[in-house]
Amino acid sequence: MPTTNDLPHCTYRDGNLHIDKVGAEELAERFGTPLYVYSATGIRANFTRLSGAFMALKPTLCYALKACGNVSVCRLLAGLGAGMDVVSGGELERAWLSSVDMSKVVFAGVGKTRAEIAAALSGAHSPLKGIVKDVSGRGPEGRGAVGLFNIESEGELRRIAQIAADLRVEASACIRVNPDVDAHTHKYTTTGKSENKFGIAIARAKEVIEAARAHAYLKVRGVHVHLGSPIASPKPYMEAIGVVLAMMDELNAKGAGLDTLNIGGGYGIDYGLATPATPEEFAAGIVPLLAGRVASGLRVFMEPGRCIVGNTGVLLTRVQYVKIGDKKRFVVCDAGMHTLIRPALYQAHHFVWPARTQSPPTRLAPPENAAGLVGTDVVGPVCESSDFLCQDRPLPVVEEGAVLAVFCAGAYGMSMASTYNDHPKPAEVLVDGKQVTLIRPRQELHELVTSELAAVGVA
Ligand SMILES: Cc1ncc(COP(=O)(O)O)c(C=O)c1O
């Protein structure tokens, strides 16, 4: 009898985990571990569901590619009509390589350098010029300017205005406002409180927007607000949108001509502990606040990342050792904090379960009647005590060589992976039905060391 957990694209069949129609153990065998596996079916379904929920706002859905920046994943989303939200010059180049129309790219981030701003205004300044071409064989030169900068500070505004004037290219922008609204998420992922480094305080933002009119090549079109991530309820969005709409109305009454609102991202997903609002529930709170204004010409941008890719990705890892300590039972795997840092960094919860099991989970939790579960820490090989994927979790007894699946690892997994302790980065695979594509090969160890050898005299 097939048993499923609550992710339609990650299903246990006859005790074996399948991603779309492909067995997890087969993938682990073929590509090695640790391995990130994404479901194209899941990505399409999530994007379509979110766009459907917010359809009344006709938003430009800019996928926050920091969640999972693999070019194949971004290309899949660009093909569905997504724009991209980028936060660095590197991500900007990924967006371009995804064949997204640059007018649908928003450039956020508090530390934009001069070089990054120039590349965002003109591909002639791309660091990839002369080195990389896109799938149509074109270099970055003619790609045009990004649709919007999200300006995070007055210094950045002056810098963008200056570079735009020097290049004689018009820069369009939203001012990122810090509305001082608590998103009730982890303190490290809260961005819309006054103590956070992001955005400009609302009172000051009004003056900044009015003063910006003096810049010939910088057009401030509206306001951006992003509160943090993951957010479980539409309420903080509703509060923040109320605050920024009041501000836009006040400024527009004085002729500011603001016609754009970027409401950020941050929509939570079900990791198996608590159930956040669904896309439809988020939309039910947010859409009524904006639909009338959209009918009168307001342009809405959104920047979701996690809710598009988060639950579509599984990290597969192989058990190296089972170690019975004095106080704990450790399952030592080849993935750890270097592969998926969220548990170590944010105490994030990821459901972990064997890829082959007599007791398939029915939700992102052990099945109710499971027998023989043992309290376990699933840990990695890194020399840090924070190197764990989960702690004190009831797990079936597993042996050396077993493959474990870490669920909901599609967002902020591979994109935050490091090579700490000189572990090369894992491979990434995209599954679409029965089709399997290696979208990034496993990093080779020589890639970690060769750039240092010239300094010690090795040719
Ligand atoms: C400015 C901005 N927009 C969008 C996002 C995407 O958040 P999420 O992936 O939770 O939707 C982030 C995440 O940190 C962000 O900083």
Residues 375-422: pLDDT tens digits? 999 999 999 989 999 999 999 999 999 999 999 999 999 999 999 999
| Whole-number percent of the chain with pLDDT over 70 | 95
What is the model's pLDDT at position 406? 98
Whether residue 456 lies inside any domain: the answer is no
Assigned token pair, 421: 């302790």
Boundary (domain end) residue, out of 309, 326, 344 = 309
148: which residues sit within 8 A by CB, 6+ positions away?
105, 106, 107, 172, 173, 174, 221, 224, 260, 262, 301
Task: Decide: 85 in ligand 1 pocket, CB within 6 A.
Answer: yes
Check whether residue 45 and residue 194 sit in a common domain: yes
pLDDT for 165: 97
Residue 114 amino acid letter: R
Label residue 263 left, alpha or beta by phi (over 0 means left) and psi (-120 to 50 means alpha).
alpha
Is residue 180 in some structural domain? yes
Give me the number of domains the chain comprises: 2
Checking if the pLDDT of 6 tops 80, the result is no
Binned at pLDDT 50, 70 and 90, residue 67 comes out as very high
pLDDT of 137 above 90: yes
* Ranges 38-42, 69-73, 165-169, 235-239: which has the least confidence: 235-239
Rounded to the nearest angstrom, the distance between the alpha carbon of 266 and the centre of ligand 1 is 5
230 lines ligand 1 (CB under 6 A): yes
Alpha carbons 243 and 255: distance in angstroms, whole number: 19
The Å distance, Cα 389 to ligand 1 centre, comes to: 23
- Which of 309, 328, 343 lies at the terminal end of a domain, its last residue? 309
For residue 348, tell me if it sits in a domain: yes
Is residue 240 in a domain?
Answer: yes
Which CATH number covers residue 200? 3.20.20.10
Nearest atom within ligand 1 for CA of residue 304:
11
**Atom of ligand 1 at shortest range from CA of 229:** 10
Segment 105-130 mean pLDDT? 97
Residues 20 and 99 in one domain: no
Residues 238 and 112 in one domain: yes
Residue 459's pLDDT is 76
413 lines ligand 1 (CB under 6 A): no
**β 403-406/352-354 pair status:** antiparallel
Predicted confidence (pLDDT) at residue 57 exceeds the cutoff of 50: yes
Peptide bond connecting 34 to the previous residue in cis, omega within 30 degrees of 0: yes
**pLDDT band with cut points at 50, 70 and 90 for residue 203:** confident
Distance in angstroms (rounded) separating the CA atoms of residues 178 and 192: 5
Measured by CA distance, the residue closest to atom 7 of ligand 1 is 266
- Quote the CA–CA distance of 254 and 356 in Å, as a whole number: 64
Report whether pLDDT(189) > 70.
Answer: no
Q: Identify whether residues 351 and 236 lie together within a single domain.
A: no
Q: Which of 10, 174, 383, 408 is catalytic?
A: 383
Give the position, in ligand 1's atom list, of the atom nearest the Cα of 411. Answer: 9
Q: For residues 128 and 32, state if they share a domain.
A: no
CATH number where 407 lies: 2.40.37.10
Place 186 in a pLDDT band, splitting at 50, 70 and 90. low
Q: Which atom of ligand 1 is nearest to the CA of 87?
A: 1
Give the distance (Å) from ligand 1 centre to CA of residue 117. 20
Q: Do residue 203 and residue 350 come from a single domain?
A: no
**Ligand 1 pocket check for 306: Cβ under 6 Å:** yes
**Distance from the alpha carbon of residue 189 to the mean position of ligand 1, in angstroms:** 9
Question: Looking at residue 179, what is its pLDDT?
Answer: 77
Dist. CA 71 → ligand 1 center (Å): 18
Tokens of residue 168, six digits: 């004689």
Residue 458 belongs to a domain: no
pLDDT, averaged across the chain:
93
Asked whether residue 31 falls in the same domain as residue 59, the answer is no
User: End of a domain among 277, 309, 341?
Assistant: 309
Q: Which atom number of ligand 1 is nearest to the Cα of residue 231?
A: 10
Give the tens place of pLDDT for each residue, 419-443: 999 999 999 999 999 999 999 999 9
Provide the percentage of residues in the chain whose pLDDT is more than 90.
84
| 123 vs 186, higher pLDDT | 123
**Which of the four pLDDT bands, split at 50, 70 and 90, describes residue 8?**
confident
Residues 242 and 120 in one domain: yes
The more confident residue out of 283 and 5 is: 283
Q: How do residues 301-360 score in pLDDT, each as one tens digit?
A: 999 999 999 999 999 999 999 999 999 999 999 999 999 999 999 899 999 999 999 999
Instruction: Quote the pLDDT of residue 333.
Output: 98
| Structure confidence at residue 4 (pLDDT) | 36
How much is the pLDDT for 1?
Answer: 31
Please report the pLDDT score of residue 227 as a whole number. Answer: 84
Decide if 457 is inside a domain. Answer: no
Q: What is the span of the domain harbouring residue 152? A: 40-309
383 is catalytic: yes
**Is the pLDDT assigned to residue 259 strictly greater than 60?**
yes
pLDDT digits (tens, 9 = 90+) for 70-111: 999 999 999 999 999 999 999 999 999 999 999 999 999 999
Same domain, 104 and 220: yes
Model pLDDT, residue 3: 37
Q: Are 105 and 193 found together in one domain?
A: yes
pLDDT for position 133: 96
- Would 394 be classed as within a structural domain? yes
Flag whether pLDDT at 2 surpasses 60. no
The response to whether residue 266 sits with its C-beta less than 6 Å from ligand 1 reads yes
pLDDT at 370: 84
Ligand 1 pocket check for 223: Cβ under 6 Å: no
Q: Which of 346, 344, 410, 345 is nearest to 377 (CA)?
A: 344
Q: Is residue 368 part of a domain?
A: yes
Q: Give the number of residues written for the chain.
A: 459
- Is the same domain home to 301 and 402? no
Whether 67 lines ligand 1, by a CB cut-off of 6 Å, is yes
Asked if residue 216 and residue 133 are part of one domain, the reply reads yes
DSSP assignment string, 273-286: SS-PPPHHHHHHHH
- Res 125: pLDDT: 98
Q: Specify the residue for token string 């082959």.
A: 356
Ligand 1 neighbourhood includes 91 CB (under 6 angstroms): no
pLDDT of residue 182: 66
Residue 75 C-alpha to ligand 1 middle, in angstroms?
Answer: 19
| Cα 140 from Cα 133, distance rounded (Å) | 7
Say yes or no to pLDDT of 11 above 80.
yes
Cβ–ligand 1 distance for 108 under 6 Å, the answer: yes
Cα–Cα dist 102/206, whole Å: 28
